[in-house]
Structure 1
Amino acid sequence: MADVRDDSPYGYIPTLWICVLFVVLYSLTSAAHLGQATYYRMWWLFPTMVIGGVGEIIGWAGRTWSSRNYFSDNAFYMNICCTIIAPSFMTAAMFIMMGRIIGLVGEEYSRLRPRTYSILFISADFAALVIQAVGGATAASADTSSGSETGGNIMVAGIIVQMAAITIYCIIQGDYLWRVLTDRPVNSAPSGAGTPRSDIEGVSNTVTLEKEAASGRARLTPNIKNMVLGLGIATVFVYIRSIYRTIELLGGWNGAVFVNERLFSTYKSLL
């Protein structure tokens, strides 16, 4: 797949067509999210999926640059930093989406209020983003291999913080869905429950929930079920990606995982 080169910071020369493919794919999905955000007025998509997508485009553009100029440190760090940091913005979208679903299906099944849920996990995601950014800046500005390793370790710390947040998120998400399906509310429904407002595509104008809905399960319309399914799949993929990135960076810039292009392309495709 790739030409092995010891003088390349990747350990190989990135395959051009793979780089171009991902630039195109992220451009298409980012354009789609931009359209969704504008048409459906889902403004929260701009600082999450749109910015995250642009970050991925820049990262893969750097990798494309590396495929033609593999000894460029600027191209290398452009790729590494952006492809590690960009997913943090996309993870924030998952947290916001779950908060919206809680507002639609019923707050009485959640241990946290939707707003608290979003604020808590987005704050953790932002902290992980800052740590990863500091690590990326440290690695990019380092003049020695030890400095680069230090930057890499800081980035690992950021990914671990993010993974811890996602783990807690998965537990709370699972608890919420279990309570909805078994009709075991944490507390009584708040005033006005059953007529929630949402700016999720396909829900805001098509879903009208009866205030007297027998249970949260009765509020799981096909649209909401599809959102829950999509959110679950996205969560699994992001979690796998975080595990891969942690192992990759812990092994160092010359580790067996880092210099394997097939692994990199496979796990990046999950996002």
Structure 2
Amino acid sequence: MSSILRTLVARDDNNDVDCESVNAQCALSDSFYGYFPSLAANTVFLVLFIFMWIAHGGQGIYYRSWSTFAAMNLGCLCEVLGYIGRLMMHHNPYNLNGVYLFGQDVSSLKPINYIYIFIFCDLVSLALQGAGGGLASVAAQNNDDMATGDNTQLAGLVFQVASLALFAICCAEYAWRVWRNPAASARVPTVFSQNKNLKAKAL
């Protein structure tokens, strides 16, 4: 995570050097991950998540569990896209086509701001839930009222749901901007063509 933050800050602050590959001016440690993502490991995880995606889809249809079907398939889809992005960066960790698929110029916020905002939201929600669990546990051991701990955990959950809803709104807004932007829309076939080629190579 620190390497991601460092890289994005460097890309925003050091616009005089536009790093596109590892060279004398662009060190590997300053790339998005700070290392070359493993081809073997990421291919294995990509294939596993594709199989889990298919399995969860089949289970959801067979048992008619539509909420679980939607949640698990969406989760597997996100994992598959994430590992495709990592595979795209195997030979060149400065290749951010797997991260900024349609161009950061389309976004209403800088990429670094998304990280700052939503990682902060995650930390707050986890802190509230952890603190609430601790308070409830102590209260239970002392035979005291657990309302404070329970309410703190609930506040953490509510905050997490709200931040996820905000993230979904940001994703929808970004998709709308891509759709409305001719240059970004023109990159859509290229992006999906690259992803299909990577899937074929992985399988």
Which bin holds the TM-score, normalised by the shorter protein? 0.3 to 0.5
Higher helix fraction (1 or 2)? 2
TM-score normalised by structure 2 residue count = 0.44
- Scaled by the length of structure 1, the TM-score of the pair is 0.34
